[in-house]
């Protein structure tokens, strides 16, 4: 997420420095710009969320959930107040671009919602499935009949927020170490504590005693520690895996656990040391090109480390994303990560973001979360997988407005 989006390496720091310094300029640019996805958006690694009870509505209603403590006056007459958000009922005409969205593109995400629907949406799922083959105007008319739009605001009434983006990187990997594949991707070690901090990234990558605890836990080897960091930031990725028999297959690396250390932005690491004046792509890229021997030091500035599990992609649709915190596969361009104390998983949301990177007026589904996705009007947009998705995710940081679409009483 899903998303300190939220690198593991068993070679020494000096070997890492020699490897990074030998990379071509063009490759380094591609790698670092993808790494800035996590730096600029701070979307956070997306661990699977534990099952939680759906927030309750007002007593005796099926209205939008009251996400904070029950009781007390409503913030505004006709408005439901939440712990981090309040929902203000509006007319469908208040949703910018509502009549222009391609409903059929969003319906796959609707169908996935119904694999694990929020209780309030359970009665609607048979109709959602039936309408999968309907025309867009019929789908739009059904939503207007069955759902009520609510403008989402912060408790102070601020309706403007922040949109960032995350994606699923695609890496080259090998089952056997060598030929340039030197950076390990680990499964969780035995006895990894669930809630207590384990060793830091630097200790995992440089301490032989710690590495001994990870013996036999290597899923695959990748070429570069910065690419591995990108994988850790996003919390999931696809691996083009070269097997010992010469065959190649595509697998998914899904989040399994972390070392429970705090996430630290490598961009912030550079700023705090006065090494760059701004942590944008041009600034960080220029610094990395001029200081290849310190890139490993920069990466160690983030103590958080992520462990993965391998999942087959045989028979999985090419555009099917990883499972988000709701427990359903994400849909590129139609799934978002949200603060679940403001918007429940499975809620259809009308999203408007006017640029400057890209204008978005579209129906999305709240299906994921991220450790840095906090606040009422806050979303992380799942862009998909691969280089194009990474390029968008690395640039997307712009204003946002949201409307929740909730079943009518």
**Residue range 251-262, pLDDT digits in tens:** 999 999 999 999
Supply φ then ψ for residue 385, to 5 degrees.
-125, 155
- Asked if 45 and 371 count as a contact pair (C-beta separation under 8 A), the reply is yes
Contact 298, 270 (CB under 8 A): yes
Rounded CA-CA distance 223/285 in Å is 19
More confident residue, 361 or 24: 361
Per-residue pLDDT at 174: 96
Q: Which helix (H) or strand (E) covers residue 360, if one does? A: strand 360-368
Residue 78: predicted pLDDT: 55
**Angular region, 65: left φ>0, alpha ψ -120 to 50, beta rest:** beta
Residue 275 lies in a domain: yes
Lowest mean pLDDT among 67-71, 108-112, 307-311, 321-325: 67-71
Rounded to 5°, the CA angle 65-66-69 comes to 150
Closest CA to 228 of 205, 247, 199: 205
| Backbone dihedral angles phi then psi of residue 332, each to the nearest 5 degrees | -55, 130
Sheet holding 236-242, edge to edge: 183-186, 218-222, 170-174, 236-242, 248-258, 306-312
Q: Which residues contact 23 (CB under 8 A, 6 or more apart)?
A: 31, 224, 292
Place of tokens 């990074």: 20
**DSSP H stretches of helix in 42-163:** 103-113, 125-130, 136-146
pLDDT at 326: 93
Nearest to 165 by CA among 397, 9, 376: 397
Peptide bond between residue 234 and the one before it cis (omega within 30 degrees of 0): no
Tokens coding 379: 């979303």
Predicted confidence (pLDDT) at residue 361 exceeds the cutoff of 90: yes
Q: Is the pLDDT of residue 34 over 50?
A: no
Residue 108 lies in a domain: no
Contacts of 137 (CB under 8 A, 6+ apart): none
Other CB atoms within 10 A of residue 342 CB: 31
Please compute the mean of the pLDDT values over residues 153-182 and round it to a whole number: 93
Residue 218 lies inside a defined structural domain of this protein: yes
Please report where in the chains the tokens 């005796």 appear, as a residue.
60
CA distance 90 to 377: 16
Decide if 400 is inside a domain: no
The pLDDT score that the predictor gives to residue 18 is: 40
> Among 322, 393, 335, 319, which Cα is nearest to 367's?
335
Full domain range(s) for residue 212: 13-47+179-235+257-312
The tens digit of pLDDT for each residue in 311-356 reads 998 878 878 899 999 999 999 999 999 998 889 899 999 999 998 9
Identify the weakest region by mean pLDDT among 85-89, 201-205, 239-243, 333-337. Answer: 85-89
Please write the tens of the pLDDT for every residue from 73-107: 334 545 555 557 888 899 999 999 999 999 999 99
- What's residue 390's pLDDT? 85
pLDDT at 57 over 50: no
Least confident stretch, 7-16, 123-132, 263-272, 370-379: 7-16
Rounded Cα–Cα distance for residues 106 and 4 (Å): 28
DSSP state of 181: B
Per the structure, the count of domains in the chain is: 1
Residue 307 is assigned to a structural domain of this protein: yes
- 157 lies in some domain: no
β-pair type (378-385, 161-168): parallel
Give the model's pLDDT for residue 1.
52
- Quote the strand ranges of 24-100, DSSP E: 80-81, 86-89
With 0-12 CB in 10 A as exposed, 13-18 as middle and 19+ as buried, what is 191?
Answer: exposed
Instruction: Provide the token pair at 13.
Output: 């720091």
Check which CATH number belongs to the domain holding 210 and give it.
2.40.240.50
Q: Report the range of poorest mean pLDDT among 22-31, 193-202, 318-327, 391-400.
A: 22-31
Q: Quick check: is 278 in a domain?
A: yes
- CA-nearest of 326, 319, 407, 403 to 361 is 403
State percent of the chain over pLDDT 70: 78
């Amino acid at each position: 997420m899903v998303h300190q989006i939220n690198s593991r390496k068993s070679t020494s720091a000096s070997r890492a420095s020699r490897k990074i310094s030998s990379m071509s300029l063009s490759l380094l640019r591609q790698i670092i710009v993808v790494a800035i996805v996590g730096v600029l958006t701070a979307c956070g690694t997306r661990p699977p969320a534990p099952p939680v009870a759906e927030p309750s509505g007002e007593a005796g209603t099926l209205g939008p959930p009251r996400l904070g403590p029950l009781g007390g006056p409503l913030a505004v007459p006709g408005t439901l107040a939440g712990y981090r958000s309040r929902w203000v009922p509006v007319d469908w005409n208040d949703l910018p671009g509502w009549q222009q969205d391609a409903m059929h593109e969003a319906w796959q995400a609707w169908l996935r919602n119904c694999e694990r629907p929020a209780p309030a949406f359970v009665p609607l799922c048979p109709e959602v499935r039936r309408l999968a083959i309907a025309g867009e105007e019929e789908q739009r008319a059904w939503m207007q009949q069955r759902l009520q739009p609510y403008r989402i605001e912060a408790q102070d009434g601020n309706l403007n927020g922040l949109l960032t983006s995350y994606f699923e990187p695609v890496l080259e990997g090998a089952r056997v170490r060598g030929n340039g594949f030197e950076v390990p991707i680990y499964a969780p070690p035995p006895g990894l504590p669930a809630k207590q901090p384990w060793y830091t990234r630097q200790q995992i990558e440089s301490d032989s005693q710690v590495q001994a605890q990870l013996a036999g836990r290597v899923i695959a080897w990748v070429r570069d520690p910065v690419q591995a960091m990108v994988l850790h930031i996003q919390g999931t990725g696809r691996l083009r895996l070269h097997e010992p028999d010469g065959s190649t297959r595509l697998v998914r690396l899904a989040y399994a656990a972390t070392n429970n250390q705090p996430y630290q932005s490598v961009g912030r690491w550079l700023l705090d040391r006065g090494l760059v004046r701004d942590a944008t792509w041009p600034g960080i890229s220029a610094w990395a090109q001029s200081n290849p021997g310190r890139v490993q030091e920069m990466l160690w500035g983030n103590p958080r480390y992520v462990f993965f599990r391998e999942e087959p992609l045989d028979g999985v649709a090419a555009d099917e994303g990883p499972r988000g915190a709701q427990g359903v596969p994400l849909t590129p361009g139609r799934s978002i990560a949200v603060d679940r104390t403001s918007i429940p998983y499975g809620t259809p949301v009308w999203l408007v973001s006017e640029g400057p990177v890209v204008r978005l007026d579209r129906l999305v589904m709240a299906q994921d979360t991220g450790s840095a996705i906090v606040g009422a009007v806050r979303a992380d947009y799942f862009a998909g997988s691969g280089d194009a998705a990474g390029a968008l995710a690395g640039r997307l940081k712009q204003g946002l407005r949201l409307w929740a679409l909730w079943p009518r009483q």
